[in-house]
A and B are shown apart, each in its own frame.
Chain A
Amino acid sequence: MRGAAIATGAVVVLGWPWAAPRYFVFLASLIVVNSIVAIGLNLLSGYTNQLSFGHAGFLAIGAYTAAILAIRASWLPLPATLLAAGLGTAAVGLALGVPCLRLEGLYLAMATLAFGFVVVEAILNLDWLTRGNDGLHVPPGHLGPWALATDTARYYLVVVVGALLVAAARNITRTRTGRALLAVRESEIAAQASGVHLAAYKTLAFVVSAFYTGVAGGLFALVVGFLSPDSFDVFLSVDFVAMIIVGGLGSIFGSVVGAAVITTLNDSLAGFQNYRPLIFGAILIASMLFMPGGIASALRRLPLLASQTPGSASRTPGSAPRTPGSAPRTPGSAPRTPGSAPRTPRQGDDR
């Protein structure tokens, strides 16, 4: 059943440019790019509970790195450019993640928010490099002799990179690393008690998250073709957070679904002009009221799909064994709906 689902999925994804009109190939590329960011963000926020409101900043760094390399070092093959975008952003992620180790919850969210602003300002001011306000045209990439000059060509590039990253993410989450990350989310104290080196894993989450978002940035630059500081405002970061919460925290599948839903929604509502924020807001509210914990966890609650939803990494009844070191229910706390993030003891709860 799983195999059939994946095979069908692969056929749909690969055959999409033949079935769909050109615009929807472009839209699909955007969905994949956003999914990569969402996975990156989820690794940070959904797994280790470090909520970030600055991921547009990481996306910007990746996008501009790739674009500037493509312009000034056009002899670099495309995979190297994307890798460089990812690594450069990961380095920044490291620089941000280490000092933020002792921040949690709200404080971390604000630090990342500030980071997002500072990145955009830096892009504006380094205008000898980024052309600041004028914006940067991204030259169409090429893979060897093949120019990526059409929406379809770029779509396939994005899909291939996306597939690799999704597979890598699933590997991460299924290994010890993934379980350690999850343990960190459930309870930092308990995780530490069972030997999880907190600082290392939290930093790792930051770095990996930044890497993913950086690569997505490079792809973004290629797909959209034009970069400007206006592209990466705080509301874009909030959009990414919405994607993982609506899709489901701590779930790779949820990240992709959330990205697809939010991107498609934003696109289809564009024609409603002034009504767009109204309808979008209403849908956000409705989905949180009716699907607390996100789409992935709602799907998991459907008995049919309980053991078959791919990619989810939080506990479901009867699935993978309990992650070592996960906290037992603290007495008296509100009962958890399966799949939703439990309330980690916050500073104020038990002072």
Chain B
Amino acid sequence: MTSAALVHVVVSGLATGSIYALMAISLVIIYNATRTLNFAQGEMLMISTFVGWTALRVLSVPLVVALLVAVIAAAVLAWVLERTIIRHAISATHFDVLIITLGLSLMLRSVAGFAWTHDEFPFPSFFTNRPLVVGPVRVAPLSLGIIGASLALMLALGALFRWTRLGRAMRAVAQNQRAARLMGISVERVYSSSWILAAVVGAAAGVLIAPVVFLSSKMGLIAINGFTAAILGGFGSMPGSVVGGMLLGVLENLAPLYLPASIKHSVPFLVMITILIVRPGGVVGRVARRKV
């Protein structure tokens, strides 16, 4: 294996990893604000991407507009779901909401099948698949583009959380819901906003990854990798999600290179279990270790 090939595999892993990171971030956004896991995150992303794709095909809009359409569709879907279903379950426990989001994921996947069939479709990318040859080095614009776009999005989110009122409100609710309410923050609005924000991030991730894994009703399964990435990095923290995502992407790619076939598929999960046991806070996180 040449070093150029190795670099390529790692860069490719970082690209997939950035998508995992975005997925992890969107899951964490909702979890931090509402203490619920959204099982339907992947399916919401999938539907938004499909809507964008429909605009692309039917209205022949440029790709940028399709991205915008996907993002808007995501926001609308999130707002509607949160308002009509999740909100009504506010008095229920976390477990109940978990099942509700599970039901949503099943329904959304089924609806996608009716609207677009369960077939798979190619999706255009902002970046080309053909390599750029720069001397001895082969550079993959597609991978770099995904990494770049994801990083830009993560920076934007970071700025949102630090410098905007909404961001501060979300952080306050994540830290201590009661105190935030007492300080006059509308917790319900934060709930809605976090669902919408998470969906928007998901839609962006969907548009970025669809050219690679293809658009289909089962695209939402990538959310499982998002969970894994979030845990690896330290659930609850943004930097943790980023690190976890990149780490997972690279791990997934390095394992087949160096490990025998029998355990290479288990590696991400074995690493996750190990990290959970040894350092439950994840690579980055600072979780209070329970002494039992």
Using a CB–CB distance below 8 Å, which chain A residues touch chain B? 51, 99-104, 106-107, 109-111, 113-115, 117-118, 121-122, 125, 198-199, 202, 234, 238, 241-242, 245-246, 249, 274-278, 280-285, 288-289, 292-293, 332, 334, 337, 340-343, 346-351
Counting from the closest, the 4 A-B pairs by CB-CB distance are A281-B106, A284-B103, A281-B107, A292-B92
A-B contact count (CB 8 A): 158
B residues touching A (Cβ–Cβ < 8 Å)?
A: 31-32, 35, 37, 85, 88-89, 91-100, 102-107, 109-111, 113-114, 174-178, 224, 227-228, 231, 235-236, 261-263, 265-266, 269-270, 272-273, 276-277, 280, 287-292
Chain B: minimal CB distance from A306 (Å):
20
- Write the chain B residue with the least CB distance to A111: B276
Of all chain A residues, which has the CB nearest B230?
A: A110
Apart from the given pairs A110-B227, A280-B103, A292-B96, 11 other A-B contacts in the complex at a CB distance below 8 Å: A125-B263, A274-B110, A281-B106, A283-B103, A284-B102, A284-B103, A289-B89, A293-B96, A347-B236, A348-B236, A349-B178
**Are B95 and A341 interface neighbours, CB within 8 A?**
yes
Contact status B96-A107, CB under 8 Å: no
Q: Give the interface SS of chain A, mostly helix, strand, loop or mixed.
A: helix
Cβ contact within 8 Å between A121 and B265: yes
Q: Which residues of A have CB within 8 Å of B103?
A: 280-285, 288
Q: Which of A101, A113, A117 contacts B266 (CB 8 A)?
A: A117
Contacts of B94 in A (CB 8 A): 343
Minimal Cβ-Cβ distance residue in B for A127? B262
Whether A278 and B111, one on each chain, are in contact in the complex, defined by CB atoms closer than 8 angstroms, is: yes
Instruction: Give the complex CA separation of A274 and B175 in angstroms.
Output: 42
A99 CB to nearest chain B CB (Å): 4
B290 near A102 with CB under 8 A, answer yes
In the complex, the answer to whether B269 meets A347 with C-beta atoms within 8 Å is: no
CB distance from B286 to the nearest CB of A (A): 11
B100 engages A289 (CB within 8 Å):
yes
CB-CB < 8 A to B110: which residues of A? Answer: 274-278, 281
Bound-state CA distance A110–B289 (Å) is 17
B95 touches A245 (CB 8 A): yes
What's the least CB distance linking B255 to chain A, in Å? Answer: 12
- Whole-angstrom distance between the Cβ of A147 and the nearest chain B Cβ: 37
Residue of B nearest to A280 (CB): B106
Which of B105, B263, B272 has most chain A Cβ within 10 Å? B272
